[in-house]
Structure 1
Amino acid sequence: MHHSPSLSELLQQETELQLPRFSHDAAWQLGSLLRTLAAAQQAAVAIEVYAYGQQLFGCAMAGTSVDNLHWIARKRNSVLRFGHSSLYLGEYQRDKGHEFELQPHIDASQYCAHGGSFPLRLHGGGLIGAVTVSGLPQREDHQLVISALRQLLAGS
C-alpha cells in the first residue's frame, strides 16, 4: 500500500469509478462494505458516505476520535468544492510546488487535501457527494475507498 499513484492514475480512478445510480440503500452498502474491509485489516477508521446534501452513512470504529470526524469534514468539503479526490488535490498542488492548505483562498479549518475522500459521481451526471475514510495514512485511506467502490461496482 505504499504505491503513490500518479496524477493521471488518480484521474483515471475518478473516471473508472463513476456510478450507474446511487440511493440511500447503495450508501448503506458502500459504508458497510468499507467497515467490513477496515475490520478485516483491524484498521481504526471513521467512515462517511455523504450524498444529496446529507450524511447517508456514518461509522466511527473503535480506536477513532472526534479528530477523525473533523478530518472527514475537511476532506469531504474539498472534494465537494473542487470535484476531485482529496488525494488528487494534494498531489496536484505538491506537483506544482504548493501546499493546498496554504493557498490564500483556502480556509484550512474547513478544507484539506489529505487522501481518503473520493467523489461520488453518476455516469453522465454530476457530482452527488463523497465517500470518506479517516484514520490510516492518507494513501491507505484512499486505497480503502477505491477498493470498496470497485467491489460495489462489481456487484451492481
Structure 2
Amino acid sequence: MIYRTDYNSPIGIMTLASDEENLIGLWLKGQKYHGEEIFDEMIEKEDILVFAKTKEWLKNYFDGKKPDIKLLPLAPIGSEFRKEVWEILCEIPYGETITYKEIARKMAEKMGKPTMSAQAVGGAVGHNPISVIIPCHRVIGTDGSLTGYAGGIEKKRHLLEHEEGTDSN
C-alpha cells in the first residue's frame, strides 16, 4: 500500500509518498514524472511517522537550516542505474553544484567503464522521485547553465538561490 500527503512549501504544494516506513516519493505539483502518474492509487494518510519527519526536514530546509539527508529513511523506486545516480546526488553538499558530466565520470568509475553518457545520467537525474531532499536541483550543465529540472527551471533557480542565501523570499 502506498500512502500520500501534501506539504505546502515556499515553492508550491509537494506530494509525499510512503510505504508507511520509508519516503518513496516527493514531487512538486505539476512536475514532470509526478508520482500520481507512477502509482495508480495512493491513499491519503497524514499520521505516518515518516511524513512527520519529512515535513520537519522540509521546514528546516526552507527556514535556511541545513538538515541532514541521513535523518530520513529514503527508498526511491527505480532501476539500479538510477539508484546509483541518486546516491551520487545525495553526496552533493548543500549550496554546491555538480555537472552532469561530473556525475557521468563518477558513474563510469563506479561501473568500471572508461566513459558514461551524460544523457543517460540526465535521464536518471530527471526521474529522481524524491525532489529537493535528493538534490537533483544541484545538477547543472557543464557551462554552468540551469538545465533540466522536472519541477521547472524557476523552481530550480529558487532552490539554488535559497541555498546560497540570496533568495528574494
Global fold match (TM > 0.5): no
RCO higher in structure (CA 8 A, sep ≥6) = 1
TM-score when normalising by structure 2: 0.24
Between Structure 1 and Structure 2, whose CA radius of gyration is higher? 2
Larger helix fraction of residues: 1
Question: What TM-score comes out, normalization by structure 1 length?
Answer: 0.25
